Chains A and B, each alone.
Chain A
Amino acid sequence: MIKIMQENWIRWSFALLLVFGTASLPAMADEGEAKAEATTKAPADSDGSHKEGHDDHDGHDDHDHDGHDDHDHDGHDHHDATDLSHANASKELEAPGSIAADMAIYTLVVFILMVVILRVAAWNPIKKALDDREQGIIDHIADARRSAEKAERLLEEYEVKIAAAAQEANEIVAEGRRDAEATKDRIVEEAREAATAERDRALNDIEIAKNAALQDVAEKSADIAVALAGKIVNKELNASDHQALIKETLDNIQEG
């Protein structure tokens, strides 16, 4: 409950005011009536005719007659002759549009004074500050525009650069791939060549060895044959015969 009241204190205080106001108004009126009675009892005016005064008043205060001319609210009772605050009233008193020339001149002077004071104290500084701010905003916008343009330019530049770099990278990769391919081919080729050479050499070696072996065999065979032949024919063969015989034998072997 208290929490609700705290949250809505404006509404609550308004409601309270309304209630108290409603309750106290009639009470105030009673008090006022009591006071007024006291006043009317007293011989308030020397000639006693104040009650029906203001006849020459062209109807301005007619409404004052309806019921409350014998009480006293805020002390403004028109018919209370003891309130001298507006005694000796002129005809202009109750006209809301009466022209007060002194007030008009005073206002004119005070206003001109105010314009002069405010021109120095407020308007000129405010004008300058607003202009400064306006200029500042314009400058800031221009700055921002320049910055944006610069950024865009840079972006474009960098985009171009990045594209170039990407291309370069691609090229490098491609080249690397090409190099690798070439290297691979070369290595394979070299290996193949090496292998071939090795085989050829091996074959060569084999041939040589075979030939040597054959030579050896031939020689041994010739010797054996010579010796055999010598034994058979028992005769000495001269060198040429010897040579011819080897050859013949070799051929035989080869043929055989």
Chain B
Amino acid sequence: MANPVLHIKDAYFFEVPKFAFQRNFTKPSEFPSIWLKLDPTVQHSEAEALAAKFPIDGMSTEESVTAWHDWTPNHHHAPYDVFYYETNKKAVEAEAAETGNELGEINSIPLTVQKNVQKEILNDTEWLDNEVAGVWEEQGLLERYNHHLSGKIIIPQPFGGELRNLHEAESGFCLSKFMIVELFVVCFLAFVLNRYSRAIANGKPAKGKLANLLETFLLFVRDEIARPSIGSDSDFHHGHDDHDEHGQDGHHEDGPETYHLADKVTPVLWSLFFFIVTCNLLGLIPFVGSPTGVFGVTLGLAGITFLTTLISGSMMHGPVGFWLNQIPSMDLSFAIAIVIKPMIWVIEVAGLMIKHAVLAIRLLANMVAGHMVLLSIIGMAMTAAVGGGAMAYGVTPVAVIGATCIGMLELFVAFLQAYVFTLLSALFIGASMHHH
């Protein structure tokens, strides 16, 4: 098994059981170009072509290729351009260390040159299907490659992005698995929630299991998260700025509490909660994985919270007032205040950023940790099975039951973390709207 983290991280293919998506390529030219690009024979040819134009300093083309050949197996079978860059980097670093200067510019092969070389090689179908096919035949690679590619539905890259391998992007905008999953989540939520909204239109009561379930969450987020965290309109009655137009419609002298301001933020919190909980739950479905187990996604979501904090705070206090509002009101004499307050401001603003970054890290860590525990428990059974013998019959049931129990815990964590993220977002947004 490759590093299990690869199962949690984003990828550029959808994984399905191998039997469900059999690959039966008969010749190299049929293989996806990303796969060919990583094939040692193709890479060798690429190295030769690149080394002719960009040999390593002080080496001939042949020497450069040989040097790359010795180097690459210990470096994840990286192609020549990586070797070229790394070698140059080493030289530049050595020079910098010697002279004590800053790092100089590191020579690298221009992307366009490399792309053109690759294109030329991969378009040479005849060469691929004769010479490369011959090497593959000799080493039994065709069968192995088909085996490895089975069950991997590689995502097409319509936006011109270039992949580094099936797990990493090289350049440009590459459409990844979780990007598609996110789009699916958006469509799913739009469909389900739209249906629900039509079912309860005109104040009709919710009917059915799904509608009631959705309503429970919707009302929980609104009544238990948004409204208490942001506060009622009367909380904003005292001392909000004059140019705040939003506070005006919520002031009733008496009667029940109104929450017009809190309800303005509620849709964002609703979206956050439903998006996160759906993404989290997708992680419990085999072969899908949860987008919230990827730092980019949680960072993006924390960015949403930060933007909402920024916008709602600026709407309450003005664009400048929002930042000035970060300083808590302190009873200080002018002389002390002029020293202390800027320092406090720096700390508070840093705290604001850190709070939101932690929001992203917390969700990521929770999702990754749960999946890692599951992976290690299943891995236990796999290891025992590979060890063979009677031990596997003892370990497997324990591992299956253990994985089931952790799966239950994961189910709980999926909801809990969605709740925690939404609650903290609401608190941050609420804090930005109130006077300190």
On A, residues with C-beta under 8 Å from B are: 18, 21-23, 25-26, 28-30, 32-33, 38-39, 42-47, 49-50, 53-56, 60-61, 64, 66-68, 71, 73-78, 80-90, 92-108, 110-115, 117-119, 121-136
Nearest chain-A residue to B394 (Cβ)?
A22
Q: Which 10 A-B pairs have the closest CB atoms?
A: A103-B296, A107-B300, A132-B203, A122-B193, A100-B296, A133-B203, A125-B197, A82-B144, A84-B38, A123-B267
> Looking at the complex, which of B87-95, B107-115, B177-185, B331-339 is the stretch in contact with chain A?
B177-185
> Looking at the complex, which of B51-59, B168-176, B417-425 is the stretch in contact with chain A?
B168-176
Contact present for A108 and B3 (CB under 8 Å): no
Nearest chain-A residue to B256 (Cβ)?
A138
A46: which B residues are within 8 A, CB to CB? Answer: 40-41, 44, 139
Minimum CB–CB distance from A151 to chain B (whole Å) comes to 26
Contact present for A110 and B183 (CB under 8 Å): yes
5 extra interface residue pairs, beta carbon distance < 8 Å, beyond A21-B396, A25-B396, A46-B40 = A71-B386, A82-B145, A88-B82, A96-B295, A107-B296
B173: which A residues are within 8 A, CB to CB? Answer: 102
Nearest chain-A residue to B41 (Cβ)?
A46
Is B117 part of the contact surface with A, judged by Cβ < 8 Å?
no
Contact present for A103 and B82 (CB under 8 Å): no
Minimum CB–CB distance from B308 to chain A (whole Å) comes to 9
Minimum CB–CB distance from B344 to chain A (whole Å) comes to 30
Contact present for A126 and B196 (CB under 8 Å): yes
B152: which A residues are within 8 A, CB to CB? Answer: 85
A96: which B residues are within 8 A, CB to CB? Answer: 5, 8-9, 293, 295, 364, 368, 372
Contact present for A42 and B139 (CB under 8 Å): yes
On B, residues with C-beta under 8 Å from A are: 1-3, 5-6, 8-10, 13, 18, 35, 38-41, 44, 69-70, 73-79, 82, 138-141, 144-145, 147-148, 150-152, 164-169, 173-174, 176, 178-179, 182-183, 186, 189-190, 193-194, 196-198, 200-205, 218-219, 222, 263, 266-268, 270-271, 275, 291, 293-297, 299-301, 303-304, 361, 364, 368, 372, 381-389, 392-393, 396-397, 400-401
Minimum CB–CB distance from A134 to chain B (whole Å) comes to 8
Contact present for A107 and B301 (CB under 8 Å): yes
Contact present for B38 and A87 (CB under 8 Å): yes
Chain A binding surface, main DSSP class: helix
Given A94-B5, A97-B364, A136-B203, also A68-B383 (CB < 8 A): yes
Which of A23, A45, A73, A133 is B40 in contact with, Cβ under 8 Å? Answer: A45
Nearest chain-A residue to B195 (Cβ)?
A122
A33: which B residues are within 8 A, CB to CB? Answer: 386
Tell me the complex Cα distance, A127–B264, Å: 10
Minimum CB–CB distance from A131 to chain B (whole Å) comes to 8
Which of A21, A25, A123, A136 has the most chain B CB atoms closer than 10 A to its own CB? A25
Contact present for A97 and B295 (CB under 8 Å): yes
Given A87-B38, A88-B165, A93-B167, also A118-B190 (CB < 8 A): yes
Which of A22, A88, A110, A114 is B38 in contact with, Cβ under 8 Å? Answer: A88
Which of B1, B77, B204, B382 is A88 in contact with, Cβ under 8 Å? Answer: B77
Nearest chain-B residue to A70 (Cβ)?
B386
B190: which A residues are within 8 A, CB to CB? Answer: 114, 117-118, 121-122
